[in-house]
Chains A and B, each alone.
Chain A
């Protein structure tokens, strides 16, 4: 199975900050990389697909980049509603696998 490793596992930041979360795959996955946001008590919500394609309705302050094995999710100016846990997920091969998550907390 392809292992997905996110860093950091947790992150404290302030409203207005720019933050970057990294996701690394154990094997080449091209651009088969998705990002999800999960708020407490809620199901995950798809933010970005194909490494960099923003889903409809997702604010433009979110962006994704990368290909191959290294990927990033950036939030350009944190808003209060962005404090959540973020997961990357590869869809290159079965089984689909997720990173362990990055919890973004308010400083």
Chain B
């Protein structure tokens, strides 16, 4: 069965860096685009970043562009999110998400359990 397991969350001071990781299993990882989606406490869902199946392209939300970097290792079935210059407003649960497709229509079909990042002094 498909599993996505995030790790790396924690408490970090503003301005510092942190790296989140997601270990994927149960599917052919190298065939799927992978995303990070976050949810601030008590708030809605916000897309953060995507990396294409082959790692060639990646895109970011304006709110994190220039500070966050998404990468993947298709030999180890992992996707990572390097977060630099962290701000209080980055505090959220970060979900690793697989992008599936039905008849060519993209959708978020599998989500990890999430990892909590708290940015606070």
Interface residues of A (CB under 8 A from B): 31-32, 34, 36, 42-46, 49-50, 53, 55, 87, 89, 91, 94-101
0/1 string, B90-121, CB within 8 A of A gives 1: 00000100000011011111011110000000
Given contacts A50-B107, A96-B106, 8 further A-B contacts (CB under 8 A): A34-B108, A43-B113, A44-B45, A45-B111, A96-B47, A97-B47, A99-B44, A101-B45
Chain A interface, >50% SS class: loop
Contact of B47 among A31, A43, A45, A98 (CB under 8 A): A98
Known: A87-B44, A98-B45, A101-B44. A49 touches B111 (CB 8 A): no
Question: What does DSSP make chain B's interface, helix, strand, loop or mixed?
Answer: strand
Which residues from B are CB-within-8-Å of A101? Answer: 44-45
Q: Which residue on chain B has the smallest CB distance to residue A38? A: B45
Q: Closest 3 A-B residue pairs measured CB to CB?
A: A43-B111, A91-B106, A98-B45
Q: Is the CB of A95 within 8 A of B105?
A: no
> When chains A and B are docked, how far (Å) is the Cα of A53 from the Cα of B101?
12
> Of the candidates A42, A43, A49, which one forms a contact with B107 in the assembled complex, judged by CB atoms under 8 Å apart?
A49
Within B13-65, the residues touching A (CB, 8 Å) are 35, 44-47, 50, 59, 61
The residues of B that contact A96 with a CB separation of less than 8 Å are 35, 47, 106, 108
In whole angstroms, what is the CA distance A101 to B61 when docked?
19
For the complex, give the distance between the alpha carbons of A96 and B97 in Å.
12
A40 to B46, CA, bound (A): 17
- The smallest C-beta distance from A41 to any residue of chain B, in angstroms, reads 9
Query: Chain A residue with minimal CB distance to B50?
Result: A94
- 24 A-B residue contacts at CB 8 Å? A32-B105, A32-B106, A34-B107, A34-B108, A36-B45, A42-B113, A43-B111, A44-B95, A44-B108, A49-B105, A49-B107, A50-B105, A50-B107, A87-B44, A91-B105, A91-B106, A91-B107, A96-B35, A96-B106, A97-B47, A98-B44, A98-B46, A99-B44, A101-B45
